[in-house]
Amino acid sequence: MAEPTSAQIDNVMREDRLFPPTAEFAAQAVIPSAEAYQALWDEAQADPLAFWDRQAQELHWFEPYSQVLDWQEPVASWFTGGKTNASYNCLDAHLGTERENKTAILWEGEPGEQRTLTYRELHTEVCRAANMLKKLGVGQGDVVSIYMPMVPELAIAMLACARIGAIHSVIFAGFSSEAIAERNQDAQAKLQITSDGAWRRGKELPLKPMVDDALDKSPSVEKCLVLRRTGSDVPMREGRDVWWHELAEQVDAECPAAPLDSETTLFILYTSGSTGKPKGIRHTTAGYNLYAKKTFEWVFDHRDSDVYWCTADCGWITGHSYVVYGPLSAGATCLMYEGAPNFPAEDRFWELVEKYQVTTFYTAPTAIRAFIKWGDQHVEKHDLSSLRLLGTVGEGINPEAWMWYHEKIGAGRCPIVDTWWQTETGGIMMSPLPGAIPTKPGSCTKPLPGILPAIIGEDGQPVGENQGGMLVMTHPWPGMLRGIWGDDERYREQYWSKVPHNYLAGDNARCDEDGYYWIMGRIDDVINVAGHRLSTIEVESALVSHPQVAEAAAVGRPDEIKGQAIAVFVTIKEAEASDALRDELKLHVRKEIGALAVPDDLRFAAVLPKTRSGKIMRRLLRDIASGKETVGDTTTLEDYTVLAKLRAEDE
């Protein structure tokens, strides 16, 4: 291998398997061929503003916009002068059409309750909730903090905020009271919405007591609206706390959508930063709404007959864009499920796919690796023949997990849309279009129409074919973040300063000889071993290709001789952790990649530390590998005992 320059990352993983869409799928697809995709992409590249102007005609406009884009780097204003409303585009736009009585939300609670809401019924509930917000003193520009389980009222609350121009800040209902308070303080939230509790793996999670603790440290919050979900007795503070069902009886169900300026803030969504301090990503109305709608239609090849299930919680951007705003703007039928994938048994998701005849299934690689670990028998007891399209989201998927998903869940006939995007991008940026683009396991393939990426080396120059570098976007797009709430300087510094005039995604990537993009992990997840810059995701993929490895995380630790040494944390399936297996795994990496990628340290872990959305917290693993104490925000850990277990191995 040639000696790499500091401007590139070594590409050590090859994947040559190619899966074209079937002729039957392509014939019915929204974008039916590679030529159709290319024509659309070329149109958008040649004149991005004309392209997005044409797409924007699909939204409802109370008043037309005067300018497609006002770009004052790094501040974008899309569809300036126009007035629209995301709640209107999700609901009112379907009234009076054949979709009015179509199911919008299919919901199942963990204990098994079921609800169905048509677009007409959902419109009624959202209008009633919007009037409830008004009665509690919420107006345009006020921030509403939402901490709820995956019940229809969560989507209803979001759409009610959008309807009156309030800003929602959804906080995943698993965060600590300290995390809620920190986000409420930063956003200066005026209203808190929560529920008495939630069901999770057969147990009740007490949400209201958690919120009570948080509100003691959230002085800006004036009222707390509480949904009755579990029926448990919870303390209600007089003058502050209000029951949802009681207030609903005091308001009517008519509330016209407010005409809002295109750049009205729609929501804040907090994401953990590299420093550990959460940052509030700000998205606005028109551009985000349009981008969520179009990317949903393109990537998921949406058809009116589909039953679509995105397993993400609305506490994450995936839930915002592809449970609520994208699908509902497109008139889709969405399944929402409250519970865990392994309760009451490991076949719960497949039971629901069979029961509701799900056609489109969108989940995370973390979940897929869990399904693999649990065993194929849970899949094989269910009829999954309704599925026609599969998707992945949240992180890169290693090729072996991709192949299992393709063969075991999709029976070899369902295209897989491996989507790359971020909280900051608002919607999917790169993905196969399932009727047009042949897939390669582990690649997010090509950019969507209107997305203009580049890969830049540390020297600021574009890298060559199959060379790794920093992924950037060279032109604004409608779904892009408009800033970090209350911190314009941090926004400029983090996303726009390292590569001038380009949005820095924070991921490394390479582009192969077919123009396919491969995400190689976060920029700070590169390991520099004796002058070779290695992507952690490639080391991890090599390990997971071993039949006994369920999951792996690779990080760098300081090394006096090599600069950095490779430390890996491995979760195994059924084998016993042993020195023999450790040696076997190291040899496997040598065989798959080469001697330069063989781990210096290999530790077995029962569970890897993850954020609530399932992403491995490599920052914490780096601290463990380096022998440091953990610093920063750890409120997003799924299991606080993991760190102690791993540290115990070192003592």
> DSSP assignment of 269-321, as one string?
EEE--TTS--EEEEEESHHHHHHHHHHHHHHTT--TT-EEEE---TTSHHHII
Preceding peptide of 74 cis, ω within 30°? yes
Task: State residue 303's pLDDT score.
Answer: 96
Domain map (residue ranges) of the chain:
119-284
Q: Classify residue 582 by burial, with Cβ atoms within 10 Å: 0-12, 13-18, 19+.
A: middle
Please state the φ and ψ torsions of residue 476, each to the nearest 5 degrees: -65, 155
pLDDT at site 541: 87
Quote the pLDDT of residue 593. 77
pLDDT, residue 642, reads: 64
Distance CA 131, CA 530 (A): 63
Give the pair of three-digit tokens for residue 405.
């998903």
CB 230 within 8 Å of CB 202 = no
- Report the sign of the C-alpha dihedral through residues 298, 364, 413, 540, in that order: positive
Could you give the CA distance from residue 583 to residue 262 in angstroms, rounded to a whole number?
A: 58
Calculate the alpha carbon distances from 481 to 45, 260, 272, 449, 520 in Å. Answer: 21, 18, 15, 18, 23
Low-confidence ranges of the chain (pLDDT < 50): 1-7, 274-275, 631, 637-638, 640, 650-651
Residue with structure tokens 């409250």? 338
Predicted local distance difference test score (pLDDT) of residue 68? 98
Specify whether the CB–CB gap between 521 and 487 falls below 8 A. no
DSSP letter, residue 386: T
DSSP calls for 563-576: EEEEEEEEEESSSP
Whether 268 contacts 397, CB under 8 Å: no
pLDDT by residue (tens digit) across 544-587?
999 999 999 999 998 877 778 999 999 998 888 899 999 999 99
Supply 534's token pair.
């290695």
Q: Point out which residues pair with 483 in neighbouring strands.
A: 282
Entry pTM: 0.86
Query: What SS3 class is residue 84?
Result: strand
- Per-residue model confidence (pLDDT) at position 278: 76
Length of the chain: 651
CATH 3.40.50.12780 fits 119-284, yes or no: yes
Instruction: Please tell me the predicted confidence (pLDDT) of residue 647.
Output: 56
